[in-house]
A and B are shown apart, each in its own frame.
Chain A
Amino acid sequence: MKLAAACLSLGLALVLVNRAEEKTTVKEIKLPPDDAAAELKPGPGVEAVRAQCAICHSTDYIVRQPGGDAKRWEAEVKKMVTVFGAPTSDADAKVIVEYLASRYGPQAKKSSHSKAARPR
Chain B
Amino acid sequence: MPFLHPLQDSAERDAILAGGPLVRYPEKANLILLTSRPPQLETPLHYFDRAITPNEAFYVRYHIFPIPTRVDLATWRLRVGGLVERPLELSLDDLKTKFPPTRLVAVNQCSGNGRGYFEPHVFGGQWSNGAMGNAEWVGARLQDILRAAGIKPGAAEATFNGLDEPAAPSVPDFVKSLTVQHLMEDPDVLVAYQMNGAELPMLNGFPARLVVPGWYATYWVKHLSEIMVLDHAFEGFWMAKAYRIPDTPCGCVEPGSTPARSVSIQRMNVRAIIATPKNGARVALARPVTLKGVAFDGGYGITQVEFSDDRGATWRRVELGPDFGRYSFREWSALWIPKTPGYYRLMVRATNRAGESQPIEPLWNPGGYLRNVIERVDLTVA
Contacts and interface: CB of A to CB of B under 8 A. Distances in A.
B361 A25 contact: no
Interface stretch (B23-31, B292-300, B336-344): B23-31
B254 interface: yes
Nearest to B252: A119
A76 B123 contact: yes
Contacts, number: 138
B65 A110 contact: no
A85 B254 contact: no
Given A84-B172, A85-B171, A117-B362, A26 B34 contact: no
Interface in B337-382: 359-364, 373
A39 B72 CA distance: 35
A107 B74 contact: no
B155 interface: no
A60 B33 CA distance: 9
A67 B123 CA distance: 8
B21 A37 contact: yes
Q: Which of B37, B72, B172 has the most CB of A within 10 A?
A: B37
Contacts of B67: 31
Interface in A52-74: 56-58, 60-61, 64-68, 72
B33 A114 contact: no
B35 A31 contact: no
A2 interface: no
B79 interface: no
Nearest to B7: A113
B314 interface: no
A56 B202 CA distance: 21
A34 B37 contact: yes
Nearest to B125: A64
B9 A31 contact: no
Nearest to A66: B121
Contact of B25 (A31, A37, A66, A116): A31
B290 to A, nearest CB: 27
- Identify whether the interface residues of B are mostly helix, strand, loop, or mixed: loop
Interface in A1-23: 7, 10-11, 14
Contacts of A11: 24, 26
B237 A64 contact: no
A31 B362 contact: no
A84 B171 contact: yes
A66 B36 contact: no
A29 B8 contact: no
Give the interface size class of chain B: 35 or more
A111 B25 contact: no
Contact of A117 (B170, B246, B252): B252
A26 B9 contact: no
Interface in A73-120: 76, 83-85, 107, 110-111, 113-120
Interface residues of A, number: 43
Contacts of B24: 7, 10-11, 32
B359 A117 contact: yes
A120 B35 contact: no
B320 interface: no
Choose among B33, B122, B206, B253 the residue with the greatest number of A CB atoms under 10 Å from its CB.
B33
A33 interface: yes
Contacts of B20: 64
A66 B69 contact: no
Contact of B362 (A35, A65, A76, A114): A114
Contacts of B207: 27
B39 A25 contact: no
B170 A111 contact: no
B91 to A, nearest CB: 10
A66 B203 CA distance: 26
Contacts of B363: 116-117, 119
A110 B9 contact: yes
B15 interface: no
A101 to B, nearest CB: 13
Contact of A107 (B121, B167, B171, B206): B121
B119 interface: yes
26 contacts: A10-B26, A11-B24, A11-B26, A14-B27, A27-B206, A28-B71, A29-B203, A30-B26, A35-B23, A35-B33, A64-B35, A64-B126, A66-B116, A67-B121, A72-B123, A83-B237, A85-B170, A110-B119, A111-B12, A114-B9, A114-B362, A115-B361, A116-B361, A117-B359, A119-B253, A120-B248
